[in-house]
A and B are shown apart, each in its own frame.
Chain A
Amino acid sequence: MSLDLSYRSEQEELARSVDGLCRRCGTGAGFTDSDPLPEQYWRGLAELGVLGLGTAAGGGGALEIAACMEQLGAHGAPGPLVGTFTAGALLDPSEMEPISGGRQLASVGQPPLLPWAAQAGVFVEIDSSEAWLSRPVSAPEPVDTTAGEPWGRTELERLRPLGDATTAVALGQTAAAAYLAGAAQNLVEIASQYAKDRVQFNRPIATFQAISHPLASCSVAVSASRILARAAACALDNRDPDAPAAAARARLSATASATAAAYQAHQTFGAIGFTIEGPVAHVSLRIRQLSLQPVPQASARAHVLESLGI
């Protein structure tokens, strides 16, 4: 069986629109500081149809989501993206409509610590492979987060079972993997460019193999993660029974390669990458935060082991 992992032209076109939107909205370091989710940007994603991808009403599937998430990751773009796509695979069309339209935010995760809880209108609780539409028993207590996202702590009251969440979680894992891979790819690219531009000891630092080899290693790992994310998306779109394991593989690979790329980007940029104004910090902070959502690493590992019959 041949597997074509390149995006089709309409997927690439959608991804280009997302890229354009991020550029217009100046997605980047400023987001962490001021408004964690500028309305122009989130509405823009809704108008492009991104927030409804994977739902019956919105059309498109996992590959469309992966294509968009690679772009969003490259910009270090904010928002409850993974939660939105996970919710899209679980909620009724009427419940999903305001979320796809960008008028309501979805908080998807395991209580008590919930992403975007401070601004969310819809709460979906995921416990191992089951999901519930839920509501907070009290107003979420806001917490600070490294990436400046308005998370909150609250207990949830379950309103309605949403059934088996395996596929929805796999879609979320795939979306997260694509975002992380896109973020890592961008970091490797800007770090490589900086290594060519930055002169120390009378030569571009890229001519030192202590700089260039780790970047090359990162590039290998990131390429693998991108391929795994696309493979997982294909498996989901083809309703392949291996899809949950494929999504877990993609997510584990992307978490590892994105974390490594963030460290190497910091190392290449030196102190400038460590400042809040620099080109690395906001992406690196988001990578750390996103790599932990919406389900822990351990459950992804369990999926991979299951697929091996272990």
Chain B
Amino acid sequence: MPSDDDFRRRVRSFLAQHGPAEGWLRDEHGRPPPDDAPNEVRVARARRCLSLLFEAGLGAISWPQRYGGQGLSNRHQVIFNEEAAGYALPLDIFIIGVGMCAPTVLAHGTEQQRTRHLPPLLRGTEIWCQLFSEPQAGSDLAGVGCRAEPDGDGWSVSGQKVWTSGAHNAAYGMLLARSDPGSSRHAGMTMFIVDMSLPGIEIRPLRQMSGVARFNEVFFDSCRLDQDAALGEVGQGWRTAITTLMNERVSIGTSNPAGYGHPASVLAAEARRRGRIDDPAMTDRISQLIIRERITALLGKRVTEALLAGVQPGPEGSLAKLSGTQVSKESAALALEILGSEAVAWDAADSLAASWATVQCSTPGLSIAGGTDEIMRNLLAERILGLPREPKIAARNEPGGNL
């Protein structure tokens, strides 16, 4: 295994070699290049980035070699992340697959499923999506109603999923469905691996107020799955889902994809350019933002350290996510204060100017996607502070309730 220093040098040289030509450089203020290319171009750019990484032995760094990874340690992955943070690698579209689905397949899949699915998933040749939320099951994921009924030696799936990021690009999806028709709440669900090209699946895009259409509604109409499509034990879907969700929060809490607020350094530069930097109220807000950015980075680092120590992701991921959301909102509010109208109007050809508006339109979504602020606070109250759960209200048809 390469030494930390050798590995870091290798990563640096790779990034320096490819960064400029591939358009992975951040500008002088640390801003990523515009992310407004058509979907096919985004996918092609992402795949090319990943394939260059694999050519250089830097893809799926800490994954076992038998599943297509490099077989290196988590520490090597962290070194890579530290070096890559100075660049803008276009890997967003793989976050769900590599960050959430792959750990779930590794933790709960059969050996056959791991060998079949992990290598193309990690290499990005097969993009994955996560089919969890439904119109009636958002924060309350245990309310999932999408049915998977036994059908001969397989399953027949019917129902609707929603807010499925990247379903339009996905080869496979991880589907949470109710496999025991008499069950309710957390029992009786099963996780499935779904080939998204199967008959009986319809994908419709949903347009967001930020102008992009990156999430979807997915409809299942008697879609037939083979018996071996179940991921993890039949009836244990909730347990499998928790693995994915924990990884999701860690992934969101420790990453900083486009659409998040501009860093304090950029805001300070804009304030200086507009003669606002001598205003004490302004410098106070910028300083507060710098402090909170630092706290968020440290919370992310703590999660990373825990992972390195072999500890499974826990509520710390929720803490990091909540903190990151607050920083982004404050950054967006401060941008409005500093830029005024320039933050909501931009020349169509000037993508960097448009980034101010993108942030204004995107930040409300951060408190919702990947677990709402309210659900994060519930997790922290219950699991870190040990506070009691919300008082129960008796559910219909369930004396005493079963929440």
Is B172 an interface position by the 8 A CB rule? no
The interface residues of chain A lying within 8 Å CB-to-CB of B209 are 274-276, 281-282, 284-285
- Kindly state the separation between the CA atoms of A208 and B345 in the bound complex, as whole angstroms: 38
- Kindly state the separation between the CA atoms of A147 and B348 in the bound complex, as whole angstroms: 14
Is B341 an interface position by the 8 A CB rule? yes
Is A151 an interface position by the 8 A CB rule? yes
B337 to chain A: closest residue by CB: A297
Is A203 an interface position by the 8 A CB rule? yes
The interface residues of chain B lying within 8 Å CB-to-CB of A262 are 364
The interface residues of chain A lying within 8 Å CB-to-CB of B346 are 143-145
Q: Which of A153, A259, A281, A293 touches B347 (beta carbons < 8 Å)? A: A153
Is B357 an interface position by the 8 A CB rule? yes
The interface residues of chain B lying within 8 Å CB-to-CB of A151 are 341, 345
Q: In the assembled complex, how far is the CB of residue A285 from the closest CB belonging to chain B, in whole angstroms?
A: 6
Are A146 and B361 also in contact (CB < 8 A) when A271-B163, A275-B208, A288-B336 are?
A: yes
Are the C-beta atoms of A293 and B341 separated by less than 8 Å?
yes
Chain A interface (Cβ < 8 Å from any Cβ of B): 109, 113, 115, 141-147, 151, 153, 199-203, 207-208, 210-211, 259, 262-263, 266-267, 270-271, 273-277, 281-282, 284-285, 288-289, 291-293, 296-297
The interface residues of chain A lying within 8 Å CB-to-CB of B110 are none
Partner-binding segment picked from B76-84, B231-239, B287-295, B370-378? B370-378
**Proximity string of chain B (355-377) to chain A, C-beta cutoff 8 Å, 1 when within and 0 when not:** 00100110011011100111001
The interface residues of chain A lying within 8 Å CB-to-CB of B347 are 141, 143-144, 153
Q: List 11 A-B contacts (CB under 8 A).
A: A141-B347, A144-B345, A200-B137, A200-B138, A200-B139, A202-B396, A208-B374, A266-B365, A271-B365, A275-B208, A291-B336
Are the C-beta atoms of A270 and B341 separated by less than 8 Å?
no
B373 to chain A: closest residue by CB: A267
Are A276 and B207 also in contact (CB < 8 A) when A144-B346, A270-B138, A296-B340 are?
A: yes
B364 to chain A: closest residue by CB: A266
A147 to chain B: closest residue by CB: B344
The interface residues of chain A lying within 8 Å CB-to-CB of B360 are 146, 288
Interface size, chain B (Cβ < 8 Å): 47
B362 to chain A: closest residue by CB: A274
B395 to chain A: closest residue by CB: A202
The interface residues of chain A lying within 8 Å CB-to-CB of B403 are 201-202
Are the C-beta atoms of B368 and A201 separated by less than 8 Å?
no
The interface residues of chain A lying within 8 Å CB-to-CB of B344 are 145-147, 288-289, 292
Q: In the assembled complex, how far is the CB of residue A204 from the closest CB belonging to chain B, in whole angstroms?
A: 10
The interface residues of chain B lying within 8 Å CB-to-CB of A277 are 206-207
A211 to chain B: closest residue by CB: B374
Is B162 an interface position by the 8 A CB rule? yes
Q: In the assembled complex, how far is the CB of residue B41 from the closest CB belonging to chain A, in whole angstroms?
A: 20
Q: In the assembled complex, how far is the CB of residue A237 from the closest CB belonging to chain B, in whole angstroms?
A: 29
Q: In the assembled complex, how far is the CB of residue B47 from the closest CB belonging to chain A, in whole angstroms?
A: 28
Is B143 an interface position by the 8 A CB rule? yes
- Kindly state the separation between the CA atoms of A210 and B373 in the bound complex, as whole angstroms: 10
Q: In the assembled complex, how far is the CB of residue A21 from the closest CB belonging to chain B, in whole angstroms?
A: 25
